[in-house]
Amino acid sequence: MKRTLTVCPYCGTGCMFYLVSDGGKLVGVEPSVTHPVSRGGLCVKGWNAFAFVHHPERLTTPLVRRDGVLQPASWDEALDLVVTGLQAVQEKHGSDAVMFASSAKATNEENYLLMKLARAVFGTNNIDHCARLCHSSTVTGLAETFGSGAMTNSISCIDETDVILVIGSNTTEQHPLIGSRILNAVQNGTGLIVADNRRIRLARHAALHLRHKNGSDVALLNGIMHVIIAEGLVDEEFVATRTENYAAQAAAVAEWTPEKAAAATGLEAGEIVAAARLFAGAKRAMILYSMGITQHSHGVDNVRCVAALAMLTGNVGRPGTGVNPLRGQNNVQGGCDMGALPDLYSGYQKVADPLVRDRFARAWGVPSLPAAPGLPLTRAMNAASEGRLQALFVMGENPMLSDPDQGHARKVLEGLELLVVQDIFLTETAALADIVLPAACYAEKEGTFTNTERRVQRARKAVESPGTARADWEIICDIALRAGYRGMCYHDPREVMDEIASLTPLYGGIAYDRLDPHGLQWPCPDRNHPGTPLLHLEHFTRGLGHFSPARYRLPAELPDDRYPFVLTTGRTYFHWHTGSMTRRSHLLDREEPRSFIEIHPDDAARLGVRDHDRLQVASRRGEVQTEARVTTMVVPGVLFMPFHFAEGAANALTNNALDPESSIPEFKVCAVRVERVP
């Protein structure tokens, strides 16, 4: 038996465990008892993280579409077709007719390399990844208010706080080890406020459960801030010495009396007052949030409000406080850090800054780099349907299931001149591709992942990849070489990290020999720096914290006579994202094998629906069939559906209305109708 210490491939909590292998095959998982996050525990997904690795459906050879059918091909043939195809599209339509979609499941090194390939080799800033779908509003909102779009504190701060506000995060299901840490803290006397209109597990342990209307977070948070100011609960010293623009914030929330906030949110005024007193009355209070507030057409405004609430009460820059976005996939933080974003290089250095461009161009040995920011992923589909985008290279993502308005996504992907997908399984997106490149999974390669608390950790190779599948970083470098660029020849990912460190001040001190046993938290500017568990200690990254008042706006689509229900979407405990790995893990799929929709008993009774009935759900964009789950988890008038399932895909229904600043789609609110299938 061999034990290999590595990082869980699922959520951003970033637990580390040992992959146990025997004769070159994975046979199990053992948690790391010394790891500061997992501390000897794992959730059910972590325990089963070996199960999909040797699945018979793993891709083992490149595939090329001939006569309309994907057929096996050699690496030489497939990679030459990728390069000539991308170059042909660029010659015909210009550099920006090509886009690269990077992956929050790939390593930091691979995200950096795909970003470099797009910019240095193909001359386009059209590079983005699925953070666009989950936390781009965090990056925009926290960069504006604090100067850094990452979790301000560490997961261990949950043990040191007096009150936790969890808003828009089903933590026990999506980040289970963080969820159980919250439950432990509550058992030890920490006050818990849960703002979420689903009766999630955390809500059953909360001092206050605020079941506000979907999309009314700005009204709720403005109402809470109104009470804090009106009752003299502001941390005046913090506001005076550490922040700016307070007067504008106070003016903006002045009208949000508890009564007005109650009318907008559907809560009682007393609940809003109680939440304000509990949060502001604590010596140390921390905010944890996730996609329940980011995936809205006003996602950036929601983030501005949580930042303002923390600053108003002096809850930044100390242990047990902070604004803490819980990142979804295991390396979505790293994907952002590595500049797999259309307007930023690694370390959030701006593409628009000529000095930054010049530094990267010199280091990469190219005469110049493109100056105009590229396309966000969520605008790529429209660009393609308008003919501005003709080729898409997708590494380890599955937009056919993860993008909103699936019908539109399919039409656009099918209409591209060239679609290349690099993945471990033939996903729904790969099935539409012209060329499919088989990739190694997390257990078959070296690299680093960065978890939600900015902890950069080593992932290690435990077993060989199947057939001729290759690590993403090797494939990217081979493409660069075939395109005539000689600046991407590395022996191993360690050399890539050295290059990242040399060009990225936040990662300046990150090196493989410093990452054992449990990584380093950025910022880590030089080799002697111990890493940074807490951000914004003496001052904010941008200097003073900036209050950015938010105006309350309704969701883009509201229920009406034709579509009388609000649909909201999310994940379940047993599955991950589009299910490409968890649905191929026998025990996980056995626990949650089918698509379902939660409906309140009152609504079910009115429609004559019983538990497990087949339901037809329709929105303005599409319709799906799924199974009824009659439950008080949801409030009357609201339905909840997970988005993991290709059959009964929630994203056939969702709305592609985008936040104007971050381009995040409004996954959390759309209008639907539902009826029982006879």
To which H or E segment does residue 176 belong? helix 176-187
Binding of ligand SF4 at residue 634 (CB under 6 A)?
no
CB of 515 to ligand SF4, least distance (A): 17
For residues 370, 372, 374 and 380, what is the CA-based torsion angle, rounded to 10 degrees? -120
Round to whole Å and give the CA distance between 152 and 392.
34
DSSP string, 381-443: HHHHHTTS--EEEEES--HHHHSSSHHHHHHHHHH-SEEEEEESB--TTGGG-SEEEEB--GG
Nearer to ligand SF4, 46 or 191 (CB): 46
Three-state SS at 249: helix
CB of 44 to ligand SF4, least distance (A): 7
Nearer to ligand SF4, 16 or 192 (CB): 16
CB of 89 to ligand SF4, least distance (A): 38
Binding of ligand SF4 at residue 177 (CB under 6 A)?
yes
Binding of ligand SF4 at residue 142 (CB under 6 A)?
no
Applying CB under 6 A, among 6, 10, 58, 79 the residue interacting with ligand SF4 is 10
Round to whole Å and give the CA distance between 30 and 672.
44
Nearer to ligand SF4, 175 or 673 (CB): 175
The residue behind tokens 């608390």 is 453
Nearer to ligand SF4, 173 or 444 (CB): 173
Applying CB under 6 A, among 176, 447, 642, 665 the residue interacting with ligand SF4 is 176
Q: Exposed, middle or buried: residue 23 (CB in 10 Å: 0-12, 13-18, 19+)? A: exposed
CB of 670 to ligand SF4, least distance (A): 28
Count the neighbouring beta carbons within 10 Å of the beta carbon of residue 356: 17
Nearer to ligand SF4, 34 or 502 (CB): 34
Nearer to ligand SF4, 35 or 296 (CB): 35
Amino acid type, 524: C
CB of 12 to ligand SF4, least distance (A): 7
Q: Max Cα separation, the chain?
A: 72
Of 205, 208, 218, the C-alpha closest to 276 is 208
| Helix residue ranges per DSSP H, 536-600 | 586-591
Residues sharing a CB contact under 8 Å with residue 324, sequence separation 6 or more, in sequence order: 151, 152, 153, 157, 286, 287, 288, 289, 452
| Strand pairing class (163-167; 285-289) | parallel
Taken in order 298, 300, 304, 307, is the CA torsion positive or negative?
Answer: positive
Number of residues that bind ligand SF4 (CB under 6 A): 14
CB of 179 to ligand SF4, least distance (A): 8
Applying CB under 6 A, among 13, 108, 137, 197 the residue interacting with ligand SF4 is 13
Applying CB under 6 A, among 5, 6, 8, 272 the residue interacting with ligand SF4 is 8
Binding of ligand SF4 at residue 334 (CB under 6 A)?
no
Cβ-proximal residue to ligand SF4, closest one:
46
CB of 16 to ligand SF4, least distance (A): 9
Q: Are 393 and 367 in contact (CB under 8 A)?
A: no
Tokens matching residue 33: 């008892």
CB of 165 to ligand SF4, least distance (A): 21
Binding of ligand SF4 at residue 328 (CB under 6 A)?
no
Binding of ligand SF4 at residue 11 (CB under 6 A)?
yes
Binding of ligand SF4 at residue 15 (CB under 6 A)?
yes
Q: Which stretch binds ligand SF4 (CB under 6 A): 10-18, 317-325, 610-618, 632-640?
A: 10-18
Nearer to ligand SF4, 292 or 508 (CB): 292
Nearer to ligand SF4, 11 or 336 (CB): 11
Of 586, 578, 440, the C-alpha closest to 44 is 586
Rg, C-alpha atoms of the chain: 24
Binding to ligand SF4, residues 36-95 (CB under 6 A): 38, 42-43, 45-46
CB of 175 to ligand SF4, least distance (A): 6
Binding of ligand SF4 at residue 443 (CB under 6 A)?
no
CB of 138 to ligand SF4, least distance (A): 18
The residue behind tokens 């990679």 is 79
Q: Which stretch binds ligand SF4 (CB under 6 A): 9-17, 102-110, 319-327, 363-371?
A: 9-17
Which residues of the chain form contacts with ligand SF4 (CB under 6 A)?
A: 8, 10-11, 13-15, 38, 42-43, 45-46, 175-177
